[in-house]
A = this chain, B = another copy of it.
Amino acid sequence: MNSFDLSEFLPYQLAVLSQRVSDGFSTLYRSKYGLTVAEWRVVAHLSQSDKVSVREIHERVAMEKSKASRAASRLEAAGYVSKTANPNDGRLVSLALTPTGRRMMEDLVPMARAYEAELLNNLGDTAPQFLQAVASLLHDAMEAD
């Protein structure tokens, strides 16, 4: 093997980077609204499209079924989302932001945008290529799903 340098290992670098980037913003919504990352993803998705099932979240937001389900339950308990039975299909649950939840997102979304902008700013003029690379890796890379 002969000396393996973890700090030069791309999967490791990506993990550290992603964690650091994620923490930067999650600290914010965590301290302000007590949200976990999983919960943030759920409300973020709900802000875009209401009346969504757990299943849709689970596949569109890259989370385990159970993870999405529990995040939704916590959000319901906190009063940010409502869970109602789908009248057309008794198996499905319709998740939606409550007015409180919507107000929260109106506060958080601009912050998210600002944070992202700051991030891109750090990248300088290499930003476009970086975004491109990330997107392309996300699509074909290593074919997980």
Contacts and interface: CB of A to CB of B under 8 A. Distances in A.
A113 B115 CA distance: 34
A85 interface: no
Q: Contact size class for A?
A: 35 or more
Contacts of A45: 6
Copies in the complex: 2
A48 B2 CA distance: 8
A123 interface: yes
17 contacts: A1-B109, A1-B110, A6-B44, A10-B21, A10-B119, A11-B18, A11-B116, A14-B21, A14-B22, A18-B19, A21-B141, A119-B142, A122-B140, A122-B142, A123-B133, A129-B133, A130-B133
